[in-house]
Structures are given as C-alpha cells and as structure tokens.
C-alpha cells in the first residue's frame, strides 16, 4: 500500500483499499486473540492531497469483526468503521517548518514523517484498525453477564443467587446488632 509522492500533484488522488488481513503484520498477529477475529478484508477509501511538500491522507477504513462478549461470553459480530486524517511531513522539512506555521490544531492530528518518494500506508492503516478493536468487547452495553456464583447467563435467565446473597448480608447485620 505505497503512495508514490511524485504522482500526487495538484489534484487530490483517491485510493481504494481492499486487502486481506495477512497484509497487515499487526492485525495478522491479533488474529491469535480468541476474543476477536477480523473476518474479511480491510476496506478503505482514502483521499490523498498534497500540501506543498507534505501529504495529507484522509479517509475511512472498515473491517468486519467476530467477537466474544467479555461479560457473557456470547459470540457476536460487529464491524469497525473509522474516519481519520494522517499528515505526512517530508522528513527534510520538519526542522524548516516550525510548529507556529502549522494551522491551529494541526499538531493534534496524527502526523508521521516520510522521506524519499514513497509513503507506505500499511502501518498507519493497521494502527487505525487496531485502535478500534474493543479491549473488552460487549455484545450489548447493557449485557448483564454471567452470574458469578452459578454461571447462568443473566441476559436470558434469572437465578436465585442474587437474592440469597442479599439475605446473607442482612442476617450478618442482624448478628452484629445482637452482639452489641
């Protein structure tokens, strides 16, 4: 996924991405994680614009996911769909362009350096995808999870463990009062 900087002139260039996970070392590595798999190609539509010697890449990346809920362990599917902007500064110009000359807020953008005639987008794209993969996947924000005592799925069933622990707390309080 290399951009040839010399091919990017005054007109923005569109780049379509449709690549298997195996192309991205970081993502290929994450496929070993039992809780999350990327189940299809990484898709993207990027616009590459030249700004003097620097290159701005804006776009959208998506990927389908198969996840395992961290609370109830149910398998579910989801997808990543993320917008981003990365600003590639030509290496030799970094010292020449002072931070003051950049637009307000520009330093907050993801920025990266490039040298020579090529920009390899592979790493930047895989980082965007990796950032969007949830560390603690949830099938639903309101997932009730499994009962810590009996292991029953509290989304689909109810158990009496919760009621018992409440009454235990209550009887402990009663004993305390008796001792007083």
Query: Residue 165 to residues 69, 70, 144, 148: CA-CA distances in angstroms?
Result: 26, 24, 17, 11
Q: Quick one: which of 71, 82, 109, 113 contacts Zn ion (CB under 5 A)?
A: 71
Q: Quick one: which of 17, 38, 55, 139 contacts Zn ion (CB under 5 A)?
A: 139
Say how many C-beta atoms besides its own lie within 10 A of residue 142's C-beta: 7
Paired tokens of 90 = 């030509």
Nearest CB to Zn ion, comparing residues 64 and 145? 145
Asked if 67 interacts with Zn ion (CB under 5 A), we say no
Binding segment for Zn ion (CB under 5 A), chosen from 4-12, 89-97, 103-111, 156-164, is 156-164
User: Long-range contacts for 103-109 (Cβ within 8 Å, ≥24 apart)?
Assistant: 109/85
Asked if 163 interacts with Zn ion (CB under 5 A), we say no
Smallest gap, in angstroms, from Cβ of residue 109 to Zn ion? 35
Asked if 154 interacts with Zn ion (CB under 5 A), we say no
Nearest CB to Zn ion, comparing residues 110 and 150? 150
Nearest CB to Zn ion, comparing residues 20 and 162? 162
Paired tokens of 41 = 């190609």
Which DSSP string corresponds to 117-140?
TEEE-HHHHHHHHHHHS-SS--SS
Q: Do 69 and 138 contact (CB within 8 A), yes or no?
A: yes
- Under the rule (CB under 5 A), what is the footprint of Zn ion? 69, 71-72, 139, 143, 147, 149-150, 159, 161
């Amino acid at each position: 996924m290399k951009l040839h900087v010399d091919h990017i002139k005054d007109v923005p260039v569109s780049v379509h991405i449709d690549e298997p996970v195996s192309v991205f070392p970081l993502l290929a590595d994450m496929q070993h994680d039992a809780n999350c798999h990327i189940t299809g190609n990484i898709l993207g539509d990027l616009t590459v614009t030249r700004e003097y010697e620097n290159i701005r890449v804006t776009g959208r990346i998506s990927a389908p996911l198969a996840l395992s809920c961290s609370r109830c362990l149910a398998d579910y599917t989801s997808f990543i769909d993320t917008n981003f902007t990365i600003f590639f500064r030509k290496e030799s110009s970094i010292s020449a362009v002072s931070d003051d000359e950049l637009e307000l807020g520009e330093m907050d953008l993801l920025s990266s350096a490039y040298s020579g005639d090529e920009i390899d987008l592979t790493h930047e794209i895989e980082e965007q995808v990796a950032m969007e993969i949830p560390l603690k996947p949830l099938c639903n924000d309101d997932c009730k999870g499994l009962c810590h005592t009996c292991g029953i799925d509290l989304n689909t069933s109810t158990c009496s463990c919760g009621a018992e622990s409440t009454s235990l707390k209550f009887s402990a309080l009663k004993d305390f009062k008796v001792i007083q």
